[in-house]
Structure 1
Amino acid sequence: MAPTKQLVLEAIKAVDSGRIASKFNAISRIGSTESGLNRLAYSESNKEALDLVTSWMREADLEVGIDPICNVFGTTRGAGKGKSVLTGSHIDSVIDGGRFDGTIGVVAGLECMRVISELGLRTKSQIELVVFAGEESSRFAFGTIGSKAIVGDLRIEQLYRLKDHDGLVLADVVRRFGGDPDRIADCRRKASEIGSMIELHIEQGPVLERIGKSIGVVNDIVSIDRLVLKIQGETIHSGGGLASMRRDALAGAAEVVLFVERMNKRYPNIRATAGNIQASPGTLNAVPGSATVGLDLRVLGDRRKYLAFLRLGVRRICQKRKLTFEFANVFHQDAQRMSRRIIGVISKIAREMKLDPYRISSFGGHDSLVIAKVAPVGMIFVPSIRGISHNWNESTDMKHVRLGTQLLLASLLDLAGLS
């Protein structure tokens, strides 16, 4: 057997599921509440968890760095100075979220780095474990903050404009967290600095579990559009006016929600969600004269077709009810194909490990999607039990996490090259 292949096999065997579980359980306690994990971006619990991960990086003999937006990097020592190979994910959560989303990718990446350090492996390119800042959009209605800064897609004026539900400005929050929002230009990494990236993540869907696969290799990440629909009717006394006279904006919004549900059933290549709804004046003695619906549309394919279908459905509902409406597209992210080369590397190694990988599309947004703008990127999925995510019941079997970590490690060593 070739020496390089033997070293990789030794590294794979050295992956310790007990160590992975121990670290996962330790970090999962931070931000845990009765309703779920509440470790929002740039919160105190996020800082506590980040400090813990940073201490683990140092224990693994990694060179630790933090950029102005508070991305944390742990880099292997003694490696060559070629383009870096990145891995990692995020540890911030949605409101009342689950423990596995993002965190598994960080803990798995840390285990890979620890094995590399313990075995004294040297690579031609350095490997960096990245804990991306602010991946989730729950706090500031704006996500993948850290990865956007890395690729140069984050502007200073955005940091001073975005606010959370308490009115706190993102720039001020970053500064209190230990960052420097006025230096975000220093976060940008040149394409010449990043050779590739692989992110390990839970699927956040039911496909792998249903077909009995342990590993998914991501083909692409779908487009994402977030829209605010404002419906205008007329406010009148709840005791006055016949049903035929009412221009009830909330009733129209409710019909839109059901239309969105029907879209999901009709088109398997989309995920359409009405995530929130508000009515005004919001009292029991008045027919709502206005209503606002927050919509999320994720499309595998031509997004314009389904946006047009959604708008047509809303128009028909509002015309029937004598309501007016307006749409605002508050967020858009293009679909992104993963690198064929990285897919090939991961798939080949998975087959050598007898894992029978399944090619899959991701309906979740990830930092990998952003990094793909400057470097070849791949993703490894492990199954989500019952497909549940963004929920305290989110879970993944640790045997699948170990397999995913072993595949991640072997793939990183292949890309970085053993010296």
Structure 2
Amino acid sequence: MTVPGTAGSVGGSLSGAGSPAPTLRHGPEGGGDTSPAPRNEGPQLSFQGMWKELAPIGRHPGSGGYRRYAWTAADGDCRVWFRAQAEARGLGYEVDRNGNQWAWLGDPLGDDAVVTGSHLDSVPDGGAFDGPLGVVSSFAAFDELRRRGAEFTRPFAITNFGDEEGARFGLACVGSRLAAGQLTVEKAHQLRDGDGITLPQAMEAAGYDPETIGPDPERLARIGAFVELHVEQGRSLDLTGDPVGIASAIWPHGRWRFDFRGEANHAGTTRLVDRRDPMLTYAETVLAARREAQLTGALATFGKIAVEPNGVNAIPSLVRGWLDSRAADQDTLDAVVAGIERAAREHAERAGIDLDVVRESFTPVVEFQHALRDELGKILTGRGGDDAGRAVPVLGTGAGHDAGILSASVPTAMLFVRNPTGISHSPAEHAAEDDCVAGVIALADVLEGLACS
């Protein structure tokens, strides 16, 4: 099939700072402000135009970071933007039963489809690149293939998976987990945000039917390859001097909730020796997490905390802390989490604190399919230009992705774009425009090799 239409929209700087937000309508059927029919231009202008349009959405004026939480107004604007990009290119648009968005070239019911994309939601005050770089690059790569006159021989789609970061409901990759059957409908219906709003309530408020959610094996069975481009969340490529790399594996990782229960009391009248203060035990556990991570070569982070009654002059009755831990292999991850829990229980027992530990989510090690990974390596090593014959680096990552969730059901692979600082999940997250364009071209080369004659 010949790629229809013409290439992406023009203009703008990479940052998008100071750009007015596009006029958009919320909801699954909102038409939004579609950009002009894309013109036949190179990948840099295609990328720039979309980046400028997307950049203001959900950006907090104080922090400069993004607050694009699942099923909120900012998320709705991102979804309308996605639909506008699909329709401007003549692609078929649909939303699946779990709220994931799809832009199709060819028959969505056909077999052996090649799919690319990522997510548009963010962590609290997250950076601009984590997720959106993959979605924008997917449309820009499609524009590049259209500019080349490439003819697709397999069905092709670009996707935006919902609620990848888990910022609102505490579970990462909800959209892809539901599709892959790794999150049951019952557990999904029990997910609540900090205001007590359930996932079904949030979906319904955004105009989606929560009664349809659940496994989508028929859809996944029709996908022959899924390739996700993502900004690197580390500095490996910066150290090797490469703009683009290929993922080898995702470390096993999970989230654990530690509930420390003590006794609420007056901060100004209760003697230190009479206190059952769970904050002290929590603090000891945070320090223990750092020690255990250093000993095992793993990563362990307490990055979220909730306190009751949360008064300046009150000793807490409950301190709830969430542990994120990751390691290169399962044995190491098990060892670091066990060490942290053991230390927490020892401190809790000495202080008269009750402790409950609940594993809220877990993803085992993901080894991306070697055949697909090797195929990407051949495509990118064999292309022309200044990098002809240069092997593309292959690197592992401690960050979770939708590609990792889907890997149990679909052949998946990932491309990383250089991050010169290694900073991620922060407004300081960054990738140079030249590297972003290099990522677009690399993705276009990969898609052409996989899906075109």
The verdict on a shared fold, with TM-score over 0.5 as the criterion, is: yes
In structure 1, the residue matched to 2:75 is 46
Letter of the 2:371 counterpart: R
Where does residue 157 of structure 1 map in the other structure? 186
Identity across matched positions, percent: 26
The more displaced of 335-344 and 110-119 is 110-119
Correspondence list, 1:82-231, <5 A? 82-185=111-214, 187-231=216-260
Aligned residue among 296, 299, 302 for 1:274: 302
2:335 alignment counterpart: 305
Count residues in correspondence: 405
Q: Which residue in the other structure is 1:345 paired with?
A: 375
Q: Quote the residue 1:17 is aligned against.
A: 44
Distance in 1 between residues matched to 2:342 and 2:108, nearest whole Å: 56
- 2:123 partner SS: coil
Q: Does the CA contact (< 8 Å) of 2:285 and 2:340 recur in 1? A: no
1:371 to 401, 406, 411: 406
Distance change in 2, residues 1:40/1:280 (3 Å):
closer
Aligned counterparts of 2:312 and 2:158: Cα–Cα separation in 1: 53
Indicate if the aligned counterparts of 1:156 and 1:182 stay in contact, CA closer than 8 A: no
3-state SS in 1 of match to 2:166: coil
- What do you get for the CA RMSD once the two structures are aligned? 2.5
Match of 1:331 among 332, 354, 361: 361
Structure 2 vs 1, CA of residues 213 and 263 (structure 1 numbering), >3 Å: closer, same or farther?
A: farther
Q: Which whole-Å CA distance do the structure 2 matches of 1:218 and 1:28 have between them?
A: 26
Q: Deviations over 1:116-162 (max 9, x none)?
A: 33444222211111111111201111221221232233433334322
> Which whole-Å CA distance do the structure 1 matches of 2:233 and 2:153 have between them?
34
CA contact (8 A) 2:247 2:368 kept: yes
CA distance in structure 1 between the aligned counterparts of 2:155 and 2:104, rounded to whole angstroms: 7
Unmatched 5+ stretches in structure 2: 1-39
Q: Which moved more, 1:371-380 or 1:243-252?
A: 243-252
**1:312 CA displacement:** 2.0
Q: 2:209 & 2:215 partners in 1: Cα distance? A: 10
- 1:405 and 2:443 are equivalent in the alignment: no
Q: Distance in 1 between matches of 2:328 and 2:215?
A: 34
Match in the other structure for 1:3? none
Helix, strand or coil at the partner of 1:37: coil
Cα displacement string for residues 231-284 of structure 1 (whole angstroms, at most 9, x for unaligned residues): 23444544556645544321121111122223333343x221101233444444
Q: Whole-Å Cα distance in 2 between the matches of residues 80 and 51 of structure 1?
A: 24
Judging by fraction of residues, say which structure has more helix.
Answer: 1
Give distance in 2, aligned partners of 1:279 and 1:293.
9
Instruction: Give the aligned residue type for 1:360.
Output: L
Contact 1:221 1:362 in 2 (8 A): yes
Q: State the 1:296 CA deviation.
A: 0.9
Matches of 1:394 and 1:208, distance apart in 2: 15
Asked if structure 1 preserves the Cα contact closer than 8 Å seen for 2:299 and 2:327, the reply is yes
Q: Which has the higher contact order (CA 8 A, sep 6+)?
A: 1
Letter in 2 for 1:306: V
SS in 1 for 2:431: coil
CA contact (8 A) 1:15 1:405 kept: no
* Bigger shift: residues 359-368 or 59-68: 59-68
2:391 aligned with 1:362, yes or no?
no
Deviates more, 1:79-88 or 1:396-405: 79-88
Give the equivalent residue in structure 2 for 1:60: 89
Alpha-carbon distance change, 167 to 214 in structure 1, aligned in 2, over 3 angstroms:
same
SS at match of 1:68: coil
Deviation at 1:170, TM superposition (A): 1.5
Tell me the distance in 1 between the aligned counterparts of 2:71 and 2:439.
28
Alpha-carbon distance, 1:187 to partner: 4.3
Change (3 A) 1:288 1:32: closer
| Aligned mates of 1:139, 1:306 — CA distance in 2 | 27
Quick check: 404-413 or 371-380, which moved more?
A: 404-413
Return the alpha-carbon distance in structure 2 between the equivalents of residues 206 and 63 of structure 1: 37
Per the TM alignment, residue 177 of structure 1 is displaced from its structure 2 partner at its CA by 2.6
Query: What letter matches 2:295 in structure 1?
Result: R
Deviates more, 1:182-191 or 1:226-235: 182-191
Which residue does the alignment assign to 1:10? none
- Tell me by how many angstroms 1:113 deviates: 1.7
After superposition, the Cα gap between the structure-2 partners of 1:243 and 1:186, relative to the gap in structure 1 and judged at 3 Å, is: closer
For residues 167 and 261 of structure 1, the distance between their equivalents in structure 2, rounded to whole angstroms, comes to 32
Measure how far apart 1:345 and its partner are: 1.4
Secondary structure at the counterpart of residue 402 of structure 1:
helix
Instruction: String of CA shifts for 1:10-67, please: whole Å, max 9, x gaps.
Output: xxx9751122022112101111112211111111121112212211112222122222
Where does the alignment leave 5 or more consecutive residues of structure 1 unmatched?
1-12
* Residue 54 (structure 2) aligned to one of 27, 34, 38: 27
Change (3 A) 1:191 1:97: closer
Helix, strand or coil for the counterpart of 2:141? helix
- What code does the residue aligned with 1:16 have? P
What residue number does 1:7 align with? none
Q: CA deviation at 1:295?
A: 0.9
Q: Distance in 1 between matches of 2:268 and 2:87?
A: 68
Asked if the contact 1:248/1:289 (under 8 Å) is kept, the reply is yes
